[in-house]
Structure 1
Amino acid sequence: MTNSIADIQQADTIFVTGSNTTESHPVIGAQLKRSVRNGSKLIVADPREIPLAAEADVFLKIKPGTSIALHNAMMNVILEEKLQDETYIRENTDNFDELAESLKKYTPEYSAEICGVDADKIREAARLYAGVDKAAILYCMGITQHVNGTETVMSLSNLALITGNIGKPGSGVNPLRGQNNVQGACDMGALPNVFTGYQPVGNPGALEKFEKAWGVTLSDKAGLTVTETFKAIEEDRVKMLYIFGENPMISDPDTHHAEHALQKTFLVVQDLFLTETAELADVVLPAASFAEKDGTFVNTERRVQRVRKAVKPPGEAKPDWVVFMDLMNRLGYEKKYNDAEEIFEEIRKVTPQYAGITYDRIKGRGIQWPCPTTDHPGTPVLHIGKPARGAGLLKPVEFVESGELGDEEYPLVMTTGRILYQYHTRTMTGKTEGINNMAPEVYVEVNPELAAAKGIEDGAMVKITSRRGFVTMKAKVTDRVEKGVLFVPFHWESGANVLTNGEVLDQYCKIPGLKVTGVNLEKMA
């Protein structure tokens, strides 16, 4: 997040897009609802009528995968009605003229046809966002899990920049992280192209620094993303896979392909429980949970926080860092750490954003990076004064329809997401009786008009087919989705990700288009 969670309370307008916030991020969702009840205006854009839609001043029930057209149309209105921040654009952005030219065709009427919403609602949303002093954008995987996800984020950045909604409280472009330490994992270089603190592996200066710190020779070549790795296994370019804290048998696209790859490689899984992925492993390493170890987590607002051991790990389970250290030493790199704090001290030395953060300083609420020195208070809001690169780059992006759509054999579009009562791949929530009573099984949401046309009643078993395979589940007939759209929560095995496409990826970050899948639907006998 460029801003802080508490900033939601300061926003005059909040634009939530691609995020079912109250179900996927209920703590932030509660703050969001409080802000709206205290006077903030709310715009919600989503293919489903999520609970937050009832709180919205403007709800845009867009077709899956059409966010770029919507954002471009909002900017078209802003420029036509001269609602942009001319001073901010002149002093803090590059490439405005090219962006403005690219937006001319995206009139509300043009984009309304693409998005399946009313043109006047697009105008209303644009005015609500641009006509106030402070407007915040909140988004999640409904924006990023598309083959043009990176460009969709660029379009949100454009929207914030042309209205001057960067670098001040109550504004910003704020991705909501999906799990408790996703931000921390990325910060620590758990990405294929960077070291800690997003220092590129191809940067000679960064490479030299880490080689000196660790006393080894390092590769300057970027590695593979998760989705690329499965393809590389099939092509015999990857022989061994080490997975920890992840369950790709449920969360990855095209489950049958993922399973085949996992069975082909030598697989090591390090996790709390014997997940669907761990059941395929050659070696399982039992890991300690958050309550069974010391360390730090970093939350969605970049806040580095202490985690303290409350109970002993069961059986042979160990903290992740102990498992990694033991394995590292057995592989010939001799290095011993006494505790998690000693590792954090090493992190500080090689990561500029963390240099001023110490265990002593984060005893209480934690500190938001960047924090370059020990007398620095941390950074609640990024890009104050000027964008970090000196001038914010306005990047024209065009709407392109997903290749999954337009096939007569698969005329419907399936989108996926989370629900309140289950979490991610149910590794933990699936073991809780009360939660399973509330949400016991996978289902598909079907519009009443589509259900009637296919003779499907609420609770009936249906078959959903895509180019990858088929699944069967109960139908939930509801007008939360439009006639041509199905929604399937991804938490269960033999669910949504059996159908999704893992072949076509975002050209920049290699994310698959999990949110748009061409499917067919039929009632089972």
Structure 2
Amino acid sequence: MTVHRVRTICPYCGVGCGLYLLVEQGRIVGVEADPEHPVSQGGLCLKGYYGYNHVGDPRRLQTPLIRKDGMLVPATWNEALNFIAEHLIRVRRQDPDAFALIASAKGTNEDSFAAQKFARVVMGTNNVDCCARLCHAPSVAGLVPTLGSAATTNTIEEIGSVTETIFIIGSNTSECHPLVAAHVIKARERGAKLIVADPRHTEMAARADIWLRVPVGGNIPLINGIMHILMRDGLINTIRVNRMAAGFDALAANLAEWTPERVENITGVPRADLQAAAHLYGKASTAAILYAMGVTQFANGTENVLALANLAIITGHLGRSGTGLFPLRGQNNIQGTCDMGCLPDFLPGYVHVGSSQKQTRFSHVWSVKPPSKPGIRATEISEGIMQGKIRVLYVFGANPVLSGPDTGYLMKALERLDLLIVQDIFLTETARLAGVVLPAACAAEKDGTFTNTERRIQRVRMAVPPPGDARPDWRIFSELAREMGSSAFPYRSPEEIWGEIRLLIPERFGGVAYKRLNDGPGILWPCPDEAHPGTPILYSDNVFLTPSGKAQLKPVPIDPEQTSAGIVEKPDKDYPLVLTTGRRVYHYHTGTITRKEWVLNQIGPEELVEINPEDGRRKGIRNGDLIRVCTRRGLISARAWITDRVPPGTIFMTFHFWEAPVNELTGRAQDPVCGIPELKASAADIKSISSVDARMIRRQKKERYLVSLEVPVNRRNVTKGD
């Protein structure tokens, strides 16, 4: 049999690795790494190599489903689109802002553009958001005012080949972005230095020259302490800083309070280690900062990012090869989804919805003036439903029932909707609650583009057709728009959509033509015309994208009474531990895809709770015991892993398993600037339980998430008022 090789991009994390899908008789039978890809350079992680069987999984959605008499039953596309259109036309007529859309970071740029355009042009609302609200919303809120852009400043390849000192903070890089970790390892092999700040003893921490075991929530004291030392020891070129940035004097006054002694008292990080790290970063000719959710997923996430931006600016580690800030993106196209305007306050290209002057271009191309009032954030939707403000929710390629904070509250809210629409490739835990379910094509079944964490726009290619009557997401939005009477969606291909994107945002994408992407390794925006090679390094001329052209230093306010890490829900006698959450290398997000992969499930078959041996002894818990984990919001069961990876007083879990849905336990406390929830810190307690109790808790979760059922699904009818 002939095996065809289809060159495309990995659909998992935001690194954007290149691979070939091996196709035989219309079925994917294997994966090969792309040896010429500039980021992955012939490598892939476990998910890249083994995470492809979901494409042909028999549980894939293949036809629309409509809830009738409490059951989800198969329907035709005409029936489903007509059903949705009738509801949405009624909502649009009564109150467009009663509609909200959660967009996917797994779709293509073209899918995301169509989604936000549907919300704005067809429904007339800015109520569109994406999972950036749960991951890098603080990067937008922190880097846009300081640098002018929230994007990664440099290429990943530079880390391995040029960077002299690498500072990783709040990132379990080896497990969450393995091919970035490969570049870090390459750098170490040629002699680069590595600083890691993390509460957990991760693989990167084990490889570090200096490991700063900062407590959960201790980032701001740590970063400000590093800057204090740099200024105290004369390692800051103040003339250069004042030439490229504004606000230095205010920052210097703020940093005077952050002595190494004070930082040690708050964080427990020895002052000698803090000084060594400061000197290693400050004296390097090139240094890069890599960060992820361990920085952003806090109620002060924006301030954490502001502090890191301040550090990069005052040391001059920006605008040159081997330097920069790397906000490592968690999903394959979260960068592109934000670029395309799936945000409640920004149109495509980060044009603020209230900018009447810049909106003119959109009004001309769309023949409709986009709404100017910022929309509701994804983390505000539950409350919006409870208050009666949101009546219809459209979830495209997301699973908030497992991924959002305090999911018990969210599920109560969903029951109050007039209509829940879910568009996905599987019947997810969220889809099981829907009034209408629409079957979508996955990444291997459609053409388009992804934008990776370094701003590299890359071609995604269809390797096999979608199953049954599943369709690409952009096509679904286009057909629904036409069903509702809109003429703004005439697209026949994703390339036509990309052409509109280039027309609307020429300063970023004008030169990024499909024909250029088809032959090369992708193009890094901004790329304003087809003669332009793309921009590997932002701010190379020390001109920033702020209104003044200067970087803006933003001191982080200090609390003179602060004596411990800055988290909202502090441990107490009833909940003496801090629960922090994250991911493991062998699974991905809520497990919708990877838990259908046999190899990955063999490696990681169940949830494990990382518990320090000291806490295990105190609680009478041994390695492998079944335990109950509880917070003020609920309880779940899982298996104990006694390990020094976590410090005393901290436990760690992932959100990959419905059997142990950790986000039932997380809280809704939010960053007041950007709305990200504090998923990284919840006061918790643990207790050893019997296998009988564990089975009972598991049965409760099984009933709650309906995982024992496929179609039909019996559930309370959420399509009220039809």
AA partner of residue 338 (structure 1) = R
Task: Report if the CA contact (8 A) 1:69-1:398 is conserved.
Answer: no
Q: How do 1:389-428 and structure 2 match up within 5 A?
A: 389=546, 390-398=549-557, 401-428=566-593
Task: Report if the CA contact (8 A) 1:135-1:172 is conserved.
Answer: yes
Task: Report if the CA contact (8 A) 2:571-2:578 is conserved.
Answer: no
Shift of 1:406: 4.4
What do residues 46-103 of structure 1 show as CA deviations (whole Å, max 9, x unaligned)?
Answer: 1100111111000011110110110000001100111113332021011111101111
Question: Which of residues 399, 406, 411 is equivalent to 1:247?
Answer: 399
For 2:664, the equivalent position in structure 1 comes to 498
Q: How do 1:146-165 and structure 2 match up within 5 A?
A: 146-165=298-317
Q: How do 1:99-498 and structure 2 match up within 5 A?
A: 99-265=251-417, 266-334=419-487, 335-351=489-505, 352-363=507-518, 364-386=520-542, 387-389=544-546, 390-398=549-557, 401-493=566-658, 494-498=660-664
Shift of 1:399: 5.4
Q: Distance in 1 between matches of 2:415 and 2:274?
A: 48
Shift of 1:402: 1.7
Shift of 1:296: 0.7
SS at match of 1:68: helix
Shift of 1:508: 1.4
What do residues 404-430 of structure 1 show as CA deviations (whole Å, max 9, x unaligned)?
Answer: 014332221111010011111111100
Q: Distance in 1 between matches of 2:409 and 2:290?
A: 33
AA partner of residue 197 (structure 1) = G
For 1:21, the equivalent position in structure 2 comes to 173
Question: Which deviates more from structure 2 when the two are superposed, residues 261-270 or residues 230-239?
Answer: 261-270
What do residues 412-457 of structure 1 show as CA deviations (whole Å, max 9, x unaligned)?
Answer: 1111010011111111100012211111111211100111011110
Q: Distance in 2 between matches of 1:216 and 1:99?
A: 44
Q: Distance in 1 between matches of 2:263 and 2:248?
A: 21
Question: Which of residues 212, 215, 220 is equivalent to 1:68?
Answer: 220
SS at match of 1:268: strand
SS at match of 1:472: strand
Task: Report if the CA contact (8 A) 2:299-2:568 is conserved.
Answer: no
AA partner of residue 39 (structure 1) = G
What do residues 461-495 of structure 1 show as CA deviations (whole Å, max 9, x unaligned)?
Answer: 22222121111111100011111111111212233
AA partner of residue 341 (structure 2) = G
Task: Report if the CA contact (8 A) 2:321-2:537 is conserved.
Answer: yes
Task: Report if the CA contact (8 A) 1:290-1:309 is conserved.
Answer: yes
Matched, 1:91 2:243: yes
Task: Report if the CA contact (8 A) 1:463-1:472 is conserved.
Answer: yes
SS at match of 2:684: strand
AA partner of residue 538 (structure 2) = L
Q: Distance in 1 between matches of 2:416 and 2:598?
A: 35
Shift of 1:388: 2.3
Q: Distance in 1 between matches of 2:377 and 2:447?
A: 29
Task: Report if the CA contact (8 A) 1:291-1:309 is conserved.
Answer: yes
AA partner of residue 653 (structure 2) = V
SS at match of 1:360: helix
Question: Which of residues 56, 61, 81 is equivalent to 2:208?
Answer: 56
What do residues 109-165 of structure 1 show as CA deviations (whole Å, max 9, x unaligned)?
Answer: 211221222111111110110011110000011111100101100000000011001
Shift of 1:213: 1.0
AA partner of residue 242 (structure 1) = Y
Which 4+ residue blocks in structure 1 deviate beyond 4 angstroms? Answer: none
Q: Distance in 2 between matches of 1:482 and 1:163?
A: 31
Q: Distance in 2 between matches of 1:519 and 1:475?
A: 14
Task: Report if the CA contact (8 A) 2:164-2:193 is conserved.
Answer: yes
AA partner of residue 662 (structure 2) = A
Shift of 1:206: 2.2
AA partner of residue 354 (structure 1) = F
Q: Distance in 2 between matches of 1:234 and 1:444?
A: 33
AA partner of residue 495 (structure 1) = P
SS at match of 1:189: coil
SS at match of 1:361: helix
AA partner of residue 8 (structure 1) = I
AA partner of residue 258 (structure 2) = Y
Shift of 1:218: 2.3
AA partner of residue 519 (structure 1) = A
Shift of 1:252: 0.5
Matched, 1:524 2:689: yes
Matched, 1:511 2:683: no
Q: Distance in 2 between matches of 1:472 and 1:309?
A: 41
Q: Distance in 1 between matches of 2:586 and 2:440?
A: 25
AA partner of residue 499 (structure 2) = E
What are structure 2's unaligned runs of at least 5 residues? Answer: 1-151, 560-565, 691-722
AA partner of residue 429 (structure 2) = E
Question: Which deviates more from structure 2 when the two are superposed, residues 83-92 or residues 311-320?
Answer: 83-92
Question: Which deviates more from structure 2 when the two are superposed, residues 184-193 or residues 401-410?
Answer: 401-410
AA partner of residue 545 (structure 2) = A
Task: Report if the CA contact (8 A) 1:412-1:484 is conserved.
Answer: yes
Identical aligned residues as a percent: 45
SS at match of 1:325: helix
TM-score of the aligned structures, taking structure 1 as reference length: 0.98
AA partner of residue 439 (structure 1) = G
Shift of 1:356: 1.4
AA partner of residue 612 (structure 2) = N
